[in-house]
Amino acid sequence: MTHETDAGAQAPVLFEEREAAGGFRIGIATLNAPATLNGLSLDMARLLDDQLIAWEADERIAVVVLQGSGEKAFCAGGDLQGLYRSMLAHRESGSDDILANGYARDFFEVEYRLDHRIHTCAKPVLCWGHGIVMGGGIGLMSGATHRVVTERSKLAMPEITVGLYPDVGGSWLLNRVPDHAGLFLALTGAPLGAADAIHAGLADHYLRDEQRADVYSALSAQAWSIRAADNAQALTSLLSDMAGQPDVGPLARHRDAIHAACAADTLDAVIAAIEAMPGDDPWLESARRTLAAGAPGSARLAFELSRRARDASLADVFRMEYVVSLHCAAHGDFQEGIRALLIDKDRQPRWNPATLADATPSWAEAFFAEPWSAGHHPLADLGRSAT
């Protein structure tokens, strides 16, 4: 969709401005790492954040578009390989300081700041969520004002499989999924197609990917306004006129059973209820297997974060998740989960704690301990200033 030179095509993010009616422009950012399914690196996050700041300040930019290069993914997650190397070096150093891992410290801060900026951008943001949208991709997509899914969209937050938890604001986002299903998604990493993504409130419009060029042409032809609210309404109308209706998905079909299971007061009761859910739907069976094989500590952290984030602001959730993520990078299962899945690929993680009985609320408490004095959180300014 862009017209870049060969050198420019090697950049991790491509930026383009298209002329639109009335002298306005459409800003298009393309994640450009198809070999890694557009996995979000620290460099990519910095480039995106800087460009969003510039586009938000530019009165000529009417709409911002986020998309991924290639046919397979918008963004399959964060830079697990880079994080693994940084965690390995940190543990080999013998340091107990969770701030000593400079890459993890910078990566999570920049990523969460970028995600928050998308959520609070003063201009309409259209995310074309074609293909795989997982983990860090959910973080980018969830803050967009207009989130498109296609016939090949596959959304998930499968962090329990790598010893993390649904971060990137997931603790806030999943609390807003109806019928307590957000907790189910956090514990099982269950994938969602287009219909279920819309049902869960994680997407807004269903279009076929072949319509993308027509949508972008319509964006260029649209009579935009200097008022962001008018532009948001115009973008909604434009997409609604072109959107279709996907078939009902398994999350919606099992909504009553999921609601009953995840309304329990304790993590033990929730997991037992999920394991006992009736039916032989392959999607449900896969979700249960993922839960059973996932890190018990990740299940506990997801549950505790869900409780603590229930009435918190988005900015406060990002601040809380930043602390938990640094602890996960320093002494949690995150390194082991990446090793088993991506490095040695033996798919035999040695979780610690090994059982849910050992992953107690008191065990999880240490992950919420802040390493700095009050008022010095690196994300203290989120929600309090334009930067």
pLDDT, tens digit, 9 for 90 and up, residues 69-127: 999 999 999 999 999 999 999 999 999 999 999 999 999 999 999 999 999 999 999 99
User: Which of 251-260, 276-285, 377-386 shows the lowest per-residue confidence on average (mean pLDDT)?
Assistant: 377-386
Provide the pLDDT for residue 10. Answer: 86
Instruction: Decide: 181 and 152 in contact? Cβ < 8 Å.
Output: no
Angle between helices 42-57 and 102-120 in degrees, nearest 10:
30
Tokens describing residue 291: 């839960």
The label of the residue with tokens 């510039």 reads 54
* Alpha-carbon radius of gyration of the chain: 21
Tokens describing residue 80: 């697990």
Provide the pLDDT for residue 5. Answer: 38
Neighbours of 357 (CB within 10 A): 9
3-state helix, strand, coil in the chain (%, to 5): 55, 10, 35
Q: What is the pTM of this model?
A: 0.95
Three-state secondary-structure class, residue 102: helix
φ/ψ of 102, rounded to 5, equals: -65, -35
Tokens describing residue 239: 């997409």
**Distance between CA 334 and CA 297 in Å, rounded?**
10
Provide the pLDDT for residue 6. Answer: 45
Provide the pLDDT for residue 102. Answer: 96
**Distance between CA 7 and CA 30 in Å, rounded?**
15
**Distance between CA 239 and CA 204 in Å, rounded?**
9
Average pLDDT over residues 173-201: 97
**What are the pLDDT digits (tens) for 38-85?**
999 999 999 999 999 999 999 999 999 999 999 999 999 999 999 999
**What is the DSSP code (8-state) at residue 78?**
B
Q: Where are the beta strands (DSSP E) in 293-381?
A: none
Provide the pLDDT for residue 8. Answer: 55
**Distance between CA 193 and CA 180 in Å, rounded?**
18
**What are the pLDDT digits (tens) for 313-327?**
999 999 999 999 999
**Which secondary-structure segment (H or E) carries 129?**
strand 125-129
Average pLDDT over residues 244-272: 96
Q: Where are the beta strands (DSSP E) in the chain?
A: 13-19, 25-31, 61-68, 73-75, 125-129, 132-134, 146-149, 154-156, 205-206
**What are the pLDDT digits (tens) for 138-150?**
999 999 999 999 9
φ/ψ of 154, rounded to 5, equals: -140, 105
For every residue of 3-30, which 3-state class applies, written as one string? CCCHHHHCCCEEEEEEECHHHCEEEEEE
Tokens describing residue 113: 């700041």
Instruction: Decide: 126 and 148 in contact? Cβ < 8 Å.
Output: yes
**What are the pLDDT digits (tens) for 333-375?**
999 999 999 999 999 999 999 999 999 999 999 999 999 987 8
Q: Sketch out the chain's domains with CATH numbers.
A: 9-368 (3.90.226.10)
Is the predicted pLDDT of residue 1 greater than 80, yes or no?
Answer: no
Neighbours of 274 (CB within 10 A): 22
Is the predicted pLDDT of residue 22 greater than 80, yes or no?
Answer: yes
Provide the pLDDT for residue 383. Answer: 87
Three-state secondary-structure class, residue 171: helix
**Distance between CA 101 and CA 283 in Å, rounded?**
38
What is the DSSP track for 171-214?
Answer: HHHGGGSGGGHHHHHHHH---B-HHHHHHTTS--EE--GGGHHH
Instruction: Decide: 203 and 147 in contact? Cβ < 8 Å.
Output: yes
Q: Calculate ∠ Cα 124-39-6, nearest 5°.
A: 85
**Distance between CA 263 and CA 269 in Å, rounded?**
9
The label of the residue with tokens 């997801």 reads 302
**Distance between CA 52 and CA 143 in Å, rounded?**
13
**Distance between CA 212 and CA 218 in Å, rounded?**
10
Is the predicted pLDDT of residue 3 greater than 50, yes or no?
Answer: no
- Mean pLDDT of all residues in the chain? 95
Tokens describing residue 311: 């009435």
Please report, rounded to a whole number, the percentage of residues in the chain having pLDDT higher than 90. 94
